[in-house]
Amino acid sequence: MGARIAGYGAALPEKVVTNADFAAYLDTSDQWITERTGIRQRHFGGTTGSLAVAAGRDAMDRHGLTGDDIDFVILSTTTPDQTVPATSADVSNELGTRGAAMDINAACAGFVYALVVARGLIDIGMNRILVIGSDTLSRITDQNDRSTAVLFADGAGAVVVERSEEESFLGWDLGVDGSARPILYCDHGGCMYMEGREVFKRAVRVMIGSSEKALKQAGLTGDDVSLLVPHQANLRIIEAANQRLGIPRDRTAIVLDRTGNTSSASIPLALADAGDAGRLHDGDLVLFTGFGAGMTWASLVVRWG
Ligand code: UT7
């Protein structure tokens, strides 16, 4: 007995904000944003719950499932719609899922944390877990601060983790270094604060280290990976990972040019984009890797399909 990932879904708010929109009122330019981050546009709007419902429904529909088929909802988010109750309670109600629901927060590594937790839930008897990553970072970003405004955005993505005959979860690595709080945080009622250069340096280090551990546990190397699905924070961070892991760009899922950094949603959005482009095939080895505030990090290797 094992578990596999089946079905994916995505949701983005309608409103598109381009680099030119920021350049119109901030001391920035399309050239700076594109060259330093790889981001060209992003989406703003919606609530974490409404985006999560849309992505969750998309994943369930594509996999031919109804609420009755889902016995656990895990919502990874850093931007819950309220403190109490958990946003996942509203989401499970809207989707008509049975059983349990909870939120988890491991910042931008949260979606991969949630996948690994879902795998553990299979071992204690659950059959199908809807794992959703949804964030509305535009609500906690100072839109007059050019160093963060151009980066963070809104969106949601989802997958179903289900019991299967064969094991598809081949290796994983999760970690946190809580001493890194001062370089990336948002207090209650405040806005995102980030020491970009320091986060960048550490992100490259932890993402590569964590990916290597997950690959090693799976008995694989970068050469074996069919598709790298990294957290979508900065194209230069992804390129550093490409180089150090030996996984070229044409085997990497990239969506940040169109979405910006959507935290928990970034990895499932990149996965859905690659899937829609016909880049996911049964048997493919997929490496998910993320990092975020905390600092947290998480990597997972799965066999697709
Ligand atoms: O998911 C959460 C994790 N977050 C991340 O992974 C983000 C990691 N960090 C980064 O992606 C990059 O560090 C940034 C994109 C945030 C910044 O890029 P950088 O190449 O590291 O730039 P920098 O912070 O070293 O800043 C260079 C210059 C500074 O000006 P001075 O001090 O050299 O005069 C900044 O003030 O660029 C300036 N700058 C901007 N200029 C135009 C910062 N933001 C902007 C902007 N437009 N939007």
pLDDT of residue 157: 98
CA–CA distance, 279 with 272 (Å, rounded to integer): 10
Residue type at 149 in one-letter notation: A
Question: What is the CA(176)–ligand 1 centre distance, in A?
Answer: 24
Q: Prior bond to 60 cis, omega within 30?
A: no
pTM of the model: 0.98
How high is the pLDDT of residue 1?
86
From the candidates 43, 105, 108, 242, which is the catalytic residue?
108
Rounded distance, CA 135 to CA 118, Å?
A: 19
pLDDT by residue for the chain (305 residues), tens digit each?
A: 899 999 999 999 999 999 999 999 999 999 999 999 999 999 999 999 999 999 999 999 999 999 999 999 999 999 999 999 999 999 999 999 999 999 999 999 999 999 999 999 999 999 999 999 999 999 999 999 999 999 999 999 999 999 999 999 999 999 999 999 999 999 999 999 999 999 999 999 999 999 999 999 999 999 999 999 999 999 999 999 999 999 999 999 999 999 999 999 999 999 999 999 999 999 999 999 999 999 999 999 999 99
Nearest to 138 by CA among 212, 87, 215, 191: 191
Q: Locate tokens 């050019």: which residue? A: 146
Q: Is 153 in the pocket of ligand 1 (CB under 6 A)?
A: no
Q: Which long-range contacts (CB under 8 A, 24 or more apart) does 88-96 make?
A: 88/52, 88/132, 90/49, 91/49, 91/52, 91/53, 91/56, 91/132, 94/49, 94/53, 95/53, 95/56, 95/57, 95/60, 95/67, 95/70, 95/130, 96/66, 96/67, 96/68
- The residue contributing the CA closest to ligand 1 atom 36 is 147
What one-character DSSP code corresponds to residue 203?
H
Task: State the distance from the centre of ligand 1 to the C-alpha of 11, rounded, in angstroms.
Answer: 28
Q: Compute, in angstroms, the gap from residue 20 CA to the centroid of ligand 1.
A: 17
Q: Can you tell me the distance from the alpha carbon of 259 to that of 73, in angstroms, rounded to the nearest whole number?
A: 24
Integer Cα distance of 71 and 257 in angstroms: 35
Residue whose CA lies nearest to ligand 1 atom number 8 = 200
261 is an active site residue: yes
Coil, helix or strand for 89?
helix
